């Protein structure tokens, strides 16, 4: 990567982080579709890690690390799409997302932190570190599903 493209990437990331993302959705249903899509792709890549952790497919450290990197990126996306007024359509989000917002946000943060730790563990290529980190992420998924998902 050139210095120029690196600076462009840093700038783009900074802009993305500072934009009021929720305002980018034209309709509440677009926000629902967006967050479901992000969770769906995230779940696909998390599932590929799970397949290796559970010995259903052979351990490939590079592939696992690539999947963990994708999960880490995707984990930052869905929560901007839970704005007020997006409790619509075929959402499985329970009203508690909005009525217990601080608890929901805390769960989101816990998941994101666990995913960062899984990503670090994945880079070591050491299954003895990856397996517990994978389990910790799964526990944060389940925690939110129990309280906030139909
Ligand atoms: C997955 C996935 C989830 C979590 C959750 C863990 O693989 O898609 O939502 O794990 O089932 O309890």
Above 70 in pLDDT, residue 36? yes
Whole-prediction pTM: 0.85
Q: What is the mean pLDDT of residues 102-125?
A: 98
Ramachandran area for residue 64 (φ above 0: left; ψ -120 to 50: alpha; else beta)? alpha
Beta bridge partner(s), residue 149: 93
User: Where does the pLDDT of residue 22 fall: very low under 50, low under 70, confident under 90, or very high at 90 and above?
Assistant: very low
pLDDT at 149: 97
Q: How confident is the model at residue 108 (pLDDT cuts 50, 70, 90)?
A: very high
User: Among residues of the chain, what percentage have pLDDT more than 70?
Assistant: 85
Angle between helices 28-53 and 61-74 (to 10 degrees): 160
2 — pLDDT class (breaks 50, 70, 90)? low
Q: Whose CA is nearest to atom 8 of ligand 1?
A: 43
Ligand 1 contact, 83 CB (< 6 A):
no
Cα of 2 from ligand 1 centre, angstroms = 38
User: Residue 26 — φ and ψ, nearest 5°?
Assistant: -70, -40
CA of residue 146 to ligand 1 center, whole Å: 11
From the CB of 141, is ligand 1 less than 6 Å away? Answer: yes
What tokens were used for 32?
């629902």
- 50 Cα nearest atom in ligand 1: 7
Q: Helix (H, G, I), strand (E, B), or coil: what is residue 107?
A: helix
Nearest protein CA to atom 7 of ligand 1, as residue: 47
Given a cut of 70, is residue 12 above it in pLDDT? Answer: no
User: Residue 46: CB within 6 Å of ligand 1?
Assistant: yes
Per-residue pLDDT for 4 more than 60? no
pLDDT on residue 26: 93
- Across the range 40-65, mean pLDDT stands at 98
User: Ligand 1: distance of its center to the CA of 89 in Å?
Assistant: 23
Report how far apart the first and last C-alpha atoms of the chain are (Å, whole number). 44
């Amino acid at each position: 990567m050139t210095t120029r493209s690196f600076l462009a990437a840093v700038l783009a990331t900074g802009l993305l982080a500072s934009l009021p993302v929720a305002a980018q959705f034209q309709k509440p249903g677009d926000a629902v579709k967006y967050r479901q899509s992000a969770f769906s792709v995230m779940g696909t890549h998390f599932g590929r890690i799970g397949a290796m952790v559970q010995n259903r497919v052979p351990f490939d450290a590079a592939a696992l690390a690539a999947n963990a990197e994708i999960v880490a990126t995707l984990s930052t996306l869905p929560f901007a799409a839970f704005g007020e007024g997006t409790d619509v359509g075929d959402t499985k989000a329970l009203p508690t997302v909005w009525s217990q917002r601080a608890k929901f946000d805390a769960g989101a943060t816990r998941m994101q932190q666990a995913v960062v730790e899984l990503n670090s563990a994945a880079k070591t290529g050491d299954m003895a570190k990856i397996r517990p980190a994978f389990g910790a992420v799964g526990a944060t998924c389940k925690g939110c599903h129990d309280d906030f998902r139909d």
